[in-house]
Amino acid sequence: MADPFYITTAIHYPNGRPHIGHAYEMIAADAIARFQRQAGRDVLFQTGTDEHGLKMVQTARERDIPVRDLANEMSSYFHEMADRLGISYDRFIRTVDEDHYAASAAIWQAMADAGDLYLDRYEGWYSVRDEAFYDESELTGEGDDRRSPQGTPVEWTAEETWFFRLSKYQQPLLDLFAANPDFIRPESRRNEVMRFVEGGLKDLSVSRTSFDWGVPVPGSPGHVMYVWVDALTNYLTGIGYPDMTGDKAKYWPADIHLIGKDIVRFHAVYWPAFLLSAGVPLPKSVFGHGFLLTRGEKMSKSVGNVVDPMALADAFGVDALRYFFLRDVSFGQDGSYSPEAIVTRVNAELANSFGNLAQRTLSFIAKNLSGEFPTAGTVHEADAMLIEEVVIACAGFKSGFADLALSQGIEAWMRGVFACNQYIDAQAPWALRKTDPERMNAVLGTLVRAIRMLAIAILPVVPDSAGKVLDQIGATERDHAAIDDDGWYDRVAASDFRIAPPAPVFPRLELPAEA
């Protein structure tokens, strides 16, 4: 039985249309999910929308529409975006789903049964934009200009709410971090969270009475759950909680909760505390990726630099966008996006390097060998050396992706592509056609082998285009075991498969006129 692997993205607030940060997170999670499937893991991949809370209520009020209509409309844009970007999710969860209400009620009940919930009066600062409570000491600014650590406005709230005994979990959480250095990654986020917990934890207000757009608190009319309680529970809804014996239960504990750096506290402090209280095993790791900036600046509606990911996909193509994000941004750190940067990166590495390698090689075989794989030839040491470099490049990709060092993984892969291009220039098969056809055969065979390995390795990043290259050479097996399958070449060569004149797979990008 394949080893289960459960990866989740944050669920996104559908109070507006998706932006590039949302797209980035989905793409990164998707690449990891695809990679783990190739490695033979039995993957469950969940993404979706986080539809409750005051921010949704207020946005609906501003637009003068029912909040449910806002949620339905906006959630559908996230769902469409996921499909457009080739996100291979198993479930697109919405927190209005019926089973999610059941899971949220169950975790609430389990925390209540543990004696961790009590009624009291909450008075303090709340940021609607962050959907977060803050301690006075965390705020900056004065009077009406008080701001959260994320720079969002805060308002004073006072109401009767349920409290969760978060303070009780301070030491258990510190023990957890000490025993599992990889629970929070990257390291910088881990340090931040440790400092926060060491500073002392106050009990957390976990219900609201001033609005009703949320999951009702069991047995407490007038209270809805604080949006983060139900939001975090989506990860358990996805595996069928509270039934821990059903067909999806094997995926728990989750392997990776992939989220952005601004919500690490919720995932690395509140969530494990809720789970400890409810007696549910803890996820294995939380990874806080960085933020994407537009030309180095924070995206904001008022600055007018919020980028529509669908427009980018239309302008450059989905795979180009995926490649750029995963290659250009060092995973875990902030990254910057600009049309020029996408065009430069994608043209240099995909169009001019890998694309050109495949295109030159395959069209030459289609034209000069009627598409047949050459079987005999004069082998030189350079051939084995190239294959060795490609094997190392694929291994570098794999170890990068296994460690969530995505950009380094792709960089290692690129070294394999460069090695192929050096080889093709040095061996010059086009010239050998007349002078030494036997040597030409060996060179072309080596290149086809190398192209196949590189295309399989890069599939998680550019699934559509790398898939097309593999189609062009009749390579149907695409998991990691296939990379090492030495017999593949001879089997296809012996079959009646022929390489047809290939359509270019990685087009050269142009800067859009308005960019």
Sites of contact with ligand ME8 (CB under 6 A): 10-13, 21-22, 24-25, 50, 231-232, 234, 259-260, 262-263, 291-292, 299
Minimal CB distance residue for ligand ME8: 260
Distance CA 16, CA 51 (A): 11
Q: Which is nearer to ligand ME8, 92 or 418 (CB)?
A: 92
CA-CA distance, 321 to 315, in Å (whole number)? Answer: 9
User: What's the min distance (Å) between Cβ of 231 and ligand ME8?
Assistant: 4
Instruction: Give, in order, the Cα–Cα distances in Å from 43 to each of 100, 243, 254, 271.
Output: 21, 19, 10, 22
User: Least separation, in Å, of the C-beta of 76 and ligand ME8?
Assistant: 15
In this complex, which beta carbon is closest to ligand ME8, that of residue 291 or of residue 497? 291
Secondary structure of residue 58 in the 3-state scheme: helix
Q: Which of 287, 259, 260, 283 is nearest to 272 (CA)?
A: 283
The neighbour count for residue 84, using CB atoms within 10 Å, is 14
Closest C-alpha to 257, from 148, 134, 404, 130: 404
Q: Where are the alpha helices (DSSP H) in 6-141?
A: 20-38, 54-63, 67-84, 98-113
User: Between 213 and 364, whose beta carbon lies closer to ligand ME8?
Assistant: 213
Q: How far is the CB of 216 from ligand ME8 (least distance, A)?
A: 19
Q: Where are the alpha helices (DSSP H) in 170-317?
A: 170-179, 187-198, 227-237, 264-265, 271-278, 309-316
CB of 490 to ligand ME8, least distance (A): 46
- Strand pairing class (335-337; 292-294): parallel
What φ, ψ does residue 85 adopt, rounded to 5°?
A: -90, 5
Provide, rounded to whole angstroms, the least separation between the CB of residue 462 and ligand ME8: 21
For ligand ME8, the closer CB: 186 or 502 = 186
Residue 505 in contact with residue 350, Cβ under 8 Å? no
Taking the least distance from each CB to ligand ME8, the nearer of 263 and 470 is 263
What is d(CA 482, CA 407) in angstroms, rounded to the nearest whole number?
Answer: 23
In angstroms, the CA 142 to CA 430 distance is 73
17 versus 41: smaller Cβ distance to ligand ME8: 17
Query: Least distance in Å: CB of 353 to ligand ME8?
Result: 28
292/410 with CB nearer ligand ME8: 292
125 vs 331, beta carbon nearer ligand ME8? 331
Q: Residue 291 Cβ, how far from ligand ME8 at the closest point, in Å?
A: 4
Nearest distance, CB of residue 352 and ligand ME8, angstroms:
29
The nearer residue to ligand ME8, 186 or 260, going by C-beta atoms, is: 260
Copy the structure tokens of residue 450: 């190398």
Shortest distance, position 200 Cβ to ligand ME8, whole Å? 24
CA distance 513 to 350: 22
Shortest CB 27 distance to ligand ME8, Å: 11
Q: How far apart are CA 16 and CA 78, in angstroms?
A: 10
Exposure string for 196-229, b = 16+ CB within 10 A, e = fewer: bbeeebebbbbbbbeeebbbbbeebeebbbbbbb
Question: Which CB, 253 or 371, lies closer to ligand ME8?
Answer: 253
